[in-house]
Amino acid sequence: MSTSDILIRFGNYQSHLNRSGYTIEQYKLDLGLFIRYIMAKRNGVAFEGDEFDALDIGTADVKFFRDITSEEIYEFLMYTKSERDNNPSTRSRKLSSIKSLYKYLTVTLKEFEYNPAENISAPAVKTRLPKYLTLDESLALLAAVQNDEASNNRERDYAILTLFLNCGMRLGELVSINLLDISPTLQELRVVGKGSKERVIYLNSASREAVADYLEIRKKDPRVVNERALFISRLGKRMSNKTVQWVVYKYLDLAGLGHKNFSTHKLRHTAATLMYQTGNVDVRVLKDILGHEQLNTTQIYTHVSNAQMQSAMEQNPLAKIKVVVDDSTEE
């Protein structure tokens, strides 16, 4: 069985486990680099350049994977750190791809017994507070769309940004919304999240109004080809992830926020943070809104803002107390 066959069967197996298409593609990219690295190492080829890129990973077979040692996997991870400048999170993902493949080969297919990746620990990943827009920045972003009178897609783009900022949905979830996923009253919509898991998102008044305005325009759009998709491109087809990202970047620039390196995922962080900090939403409710599997994933949004910390400091009963020292001396 060649590498091509192995990766195809591995991809089908991951699809059976309800892994998303994006996750499966990441697995294949990570594993392709790993295989090239091992081939280059064994054949004296430089780890970059045309010769490295031209290595045919399809020639590797089951024996190729059986002969790989734990030390070679460690060396690959060090290579991705030193030569490709991969951060701990990216290296951890690459290791996860390798571990998944070896588990598939040893446990599922039983091609061989020894799993060289089994006992390799992932690099420690620092927990970072999510980056998000403030309320004023969010309002400025929405205003940038409303003020863009030259745009032919103003209602569509406003609805997209409104859903991101109010509902906290993922990019892939937004792009995949179909018309039939929205209730007739616009009170709720169904999205398909990670692992092909469905959940219902309830729309607030701002979201309902933005979607309703867009649907009125959409009904009259002669470009519509794919009538199932909610958000359509200038070609009348379902908008792609890249097109939605371009829309977000465009209005971030127009709002004067382009230099802050925000993204569609940061808008998800924004919705979650504003709901928790300003809306007093319970973290367990927030977990369900965001479609998180584990509560500890959601708890990153329970970080306190500077304003909250300042307010807490002011609640200290000693905050306004000033002790006056009596410097007078008796004669």
- The ranges assigned to domains in the chain are 3-108, 135-305
For the segment(s) 135-305, the CATH number from 1.25.40.10, 1.10.443.10, 3.30.1130.10, 1.20.140.10 is 1.10.443.10
Percentage, residues of the chain above pLDDT 70: 87
Vertex 22: Cα angle to 215 and 168 (nearest 5): 45
Positions marked active-site: 170, 194, 265, 268, 292, 301
Look up residue 198 and give its DSSP letter.
Answer: E
SS3 325: coil
Average pLDDT estimate for 37-41: 94
Question: pTM of the entire structure?
Answer: 0.64
pLDDT of residue 229: 92
274-322 pLDDT, tens digit per residue, is: 887 776 677 777 777 777 777 766 666 666 555 555 666 676 776 777 7
CATH of domain 3-108: 1.10.150.130
Q: How far is CA 68 from the centre of its chain?
A: 32
What stretch of H or E contains 143? helix 135-146
> What is the pLDDT confidence band of residue 273, given thresholds at 50, 70 and 90?
confident
Look up residue 219 and give its DSSP letter.
Answer: H
Which has more confidence, 78 or 59? 78
231-258 pLDDT, tens digit per residue, is: 999 888 999 999 999 999 999 999 999 8
Q: How many CB atoms lie within 10 A of CB 100?
A: 20
- Distance, in Å, from the CA atom of 7 to the CA atom of 59, rounded to the nearest integer, reads 12
16-35 pLDDT, tens digit per residue, is: 887 777 788 889 999 999 99
Average pLDDT of the chain to the nearest whole number: 86
Please, are residues 3 and 101 in contact by the beta-carbon 8 Å criterion? no
- Distance, in Å, from the CA atom of 124 to the CA atom of 72, rounded to the nearest integer, reads 20
189-226 pLDDT, tens digit per residue, is: 998 877 777 888 889 999 999 999 999 999 888 877 76
